[in-house]
Chain A
Amino acid sequence: MKRLLPIFGAITTALLGFALYEALIGAPTEQTMGNVQRIFYYHVSSAWTAFILFFLNFVASVLYLVRKNDSQGLKDRLANWVVIALGIITCIAAYLIKLPDGIERSSVASTGIAAVCIYFLVRKYFPEDRGDALAVTTAEVGVVFCTVVLVTGPLWARPVWGIWWAPGDVRLTSTLVLWLIYVSYLILRRFSSSGQTPKIAAVLAVFGALDVPLVYFSIWFFRTQHPQPVIGDGGSIDPRMLHVLLLNWLAFSCFAALLCWARYRLEVLRREVDETLALESLLEPRGSR
């Protein structure tokens, strides 16, 4: 892994550079908004990356709650079956229920399958306390990407809508609420030293994750100032623009993976240091300080 990291870092840097070139020069200029529309490539790809990170945080938090006080592994096995059942129900429902215009049935079904796969991957590769470390990592990196979304959004809105922020807009407000929930999650993790902190934080993360679908689907279900979807079934995006968007998303996803790797390593090391210090203070003879 350590050998692969510099190669992955170099590929990510090259990808980010190429994606930046494509976003600023390669992509065609939008007719109505002009060059300012190019903010789209950073804004949307950062939002998608943040959503994935928050979803990972949700999975890691659920796993932490399931594994807590589960010595016989009963809750773990039950959770596995519940996740598989939810994946199957999502796939069937995608083809049976009437979906709003713009949402593709195959996208919903494949998201359901991907969610199940992610759950089992996290379960396999992040056992016990490692799951909690992953939760902290993804929440922190997710907040960074969500901050980018909240900063680039108003910078795009000002020249296009004439206002920095549309108060009461569901997409904008729910995104701000999402950011606030995860910032409070990080504050809780940082400043609370109670033994119950990971458990409380995991519960908060589960509630926070419920806001992600609201943010994503708000433009389908509510009349918002935020533009309607331009990607997917019925979307009007130019194929060259879509290509640049996907390229930027890939680059930012790789970059997020690098940041997560560094943050995860930091978290694991910090926990080891804390354990050593706690052990030292226990072994230290009384009155030696």
Chain B
Amino acid sequence: MKFLFAAYAATWLIHTCYMGTLARRFTQLRNQIKEIAERK
């Protein structure tokens, strides 16, 4: 059973990490857009 749970946990860990990186990149981009808007 431990291998089964490890596989399922690993799957969701990989997806969660990827969603985390996407969220981080969105935040960085949003800050960049805000900076550009302030400069104009």
Once the chains bind, are B11 and A277 in contact (CB under 8 Å)?
no
Chain B residues whose C-beta falls within 8 Å of the C-beta of A46 in the assembled complex = 11
* Size range of the chain B interface in the assembly: 20 to 34
Once the chains bind, are A39 and B7 in contact (CB under 8 Å)?
yes
Chain B residues whose C-beta falls within 8 Å of the C-beta of A83 in the assembled complex = none
Once the chains bind, are B18 and A144 in contact (CB under 8 Å)?
yes
Once the chains bind, are A269 and B29 in contact (CB under 8 Å)?
yes
A266 with B4, Cβ < 8 A, contacts A144-B14, A144-B18, A259-B22 known: no
Once the chains bind, are B29 and A266 in contact (CB under 8 Å)?
yes
Question: Closest CB-CB distance, A245 to chain B, in whole Å?
Answer: 15
**What is the number of residues of chain A that contact chain B, defined by CB distance less than 8 Å?**
30
Once the chains bind, are A42 and B7 in contact (CB under 8 Å)?
yes
Give residues in B with beta carbon < 8 Å to A: 1, 3-4, 6-8, 10-11, 14-15, 18-19, 22, 25-26, 29, 32-33, 36, 39
Give residues in A with beta carbon < 8 Å to B: 20, 24, 35-36, 38-39, 42-43, 46, 141, 144, 147-148, 151-152, 155-156, 158-159, 255, 259, 262-263, 266, 269-270, 273, 276-277, 280
